Chain A
Amino acid sequence: MKKRNLSDNFMKLFIILSSIITLGTMIWILIYVISNGIAHVSWEFLTEFQEGQIEGGIFPYIISTLYIIFITILIATPIGIFSAIYLVEYAKPGKIVRIIRFATESLAGIPSIVFGLFGLIFFVTMLGFRWSMLSGALTLSIMVLPTVVRTTEESLKAVPNIYREGSLGLGASKLRTIRKVILPSALPGILTAVILSIGRIIGETAAVFLTAGTAKALPKSIMDGGRTLSVHMYYLAKEGISMDKAYATATVLILVVIVINFIANKLASRLNKKNS
Chain B
Amino acid sequence: MERVDNSNISQASLNMKKSKSTVLWEKFVEKIFFISACMAIISIATITIFIFAKGGPAMLEIGIFNFMFGTTELGGKVYLWQPGADIYHIITMILSSIYITLGAIIIGVPIGILTAVFIAEIAPKWLVKIMKPAVELLAGIPSVVYGFFGLIIIVPMIYEAYGRQLKGGGNSMLAAIIILSIMILPTIINISIAAIKAVPIEYKEGSLAMGATHIQTIFKVMIPAAKSGIFAAVILGIGRAIGETMAVILVAGNSIKFPTSISDSVRPMTAHIALEMSYASPGLHENSLFATGIVLFVFIMLLNIALNFITHKVGE
Interface residues of A (CB under 8 A from B): 4, 7-8, 11-12, 14-19, 21-23, 25-26, 29-30, 32-33, 78-80, 82-83, 85-87, 89-91, 99-100, 102-107, 109-118, 120-122, 142, 145-146, 149, 170-175, 199, 202-206, 209-210, 214, 230, 233-234, 237-238, 243, 246, 250, 253-254, 257-258, 260-261, 264-265
Contacts and interface: CB of A to CB of B under 8 A. Distances in A.
Among B215, B289, B293, the one with the most A-chain Cβ atoms within 10 Å of its Cβ is B215
A218 B39 CA distance: 32
Interface stretch (B57-65, B87-95, B116-124, B196-204): B116-124
Interface in B1-27: 1, 22, 25-26
Contacts of B119: 19
Interface in B139-186: 140-149, 151-153, 182, 185
A115 B46 CA distance: 11
Given A111-B245, A203-B142, A257-B140, A83 B36 contact: yes
19 contacts: A25-B185, A29-B149, A90-B30, A99-B41, A100-B37, A103-B43, A103-B44, A105-B307, A105-B308, A106-B300, A113-B293, A115-B47, A117-B290, A142-B43, A149-B40, A171-B1, A173-B22, A230-B144, A253-B145
Instruction: Pick from A25, A90, A99, A106 the residue with the most CB of B within 10 Å.
Output: A106
A3 B250 CA distance: 47
Contacts, number: 245
B134 A109 contact: no
Contact of A8 (B131, B147, B216, B308): B216
A21 B113 CA distance: 12
B296 interface: yes
B140 A260 contact: yes
Contacts of B22: 173
Interface stretch (B67-75, B77-85, B270-278): B270-278
A26 B44 contact: no
Contact of B40 (A104, A113, A230): A104
Contacts of A32: 149, 153
A11 B219 contact: yes
A234 B147 contact: yes
Interface in B208-252: 213, 215-216, 219, 236, 239, 242-246, 249-250
Interface of B: 1, 22, 25-26, 29-30, 32-34, 36-41, 43-44, 46-47, 50-51, 54, 110-112, 114-115, 117-119, 122-123, 130-131, 133-138, 140-149, 151-153, 182, 185, 189, 213, 215-216, 219, 236, 239, 242-246, 249-250, 270, 273-274, 277-278, 289-290, 293, 296-297, 300-301, 303-304, 307-308
A199 B152 CA distance: 24
A199 B142 CA distance: 9
Q: Say whether chain B's binding surface is mostly helix, strand, loop, or mixed.
A: helix
Contact of A109 (B131, B239, B289): B239
A205 B239 CA distance: 17
A42 to B, nearest CB: 20
A85 B34 CA distance: 9
A8 B307 contact: no
Chain A to chain B: the 3 pairs with minimum beta-carbon distance, closest first: A111-B243, A203-B142, A82-B36
A264 B140 CA distance: 11
A16 to B, nearest CB: 7
Contact of A206 (B133, B182, B270): B270
B110 A233 contact: no
Nearest to A251: B145
Given A33-B148, A120-B277, 5 more contacts: A8-B215, A16-B118, A22-B135, A114-B243, A210-B274
A24 to B, nearest CB: 10
Given A8-B213, A104-B40, A257-B140, A250 B33 contact: no
Contact of B118 (A18, A122, A254): A18
Contacts of B130: 23
A258 to B, nearest CB: 7
A238 B32 contact: no
A205 B296 CA distance: 18
Kindly name the residue among A19, A80, A250 whose own CB sees the greatest number of chain B CB atoms within 10 A: A19
Contact of B51 (A12, A117, A233): A117
Contacts of B293: 113-114, 117
A206 B40 contact: no
Which has the most chain B C-beta neighbours within 10 Å: A111, A116, A203?
A111
B79 to A, nearest CB: 25
A202 to B, nearest CB: 7
Nearest to A262: B133
Contact of A258 (B39, B112, B137, B185): B137
B39 A110 contact: no
A103 B41 contact: yes
B25 to A, nearest CB: 7
Contacts of B216: 4, 8
A53 to B, nearest CB: 20
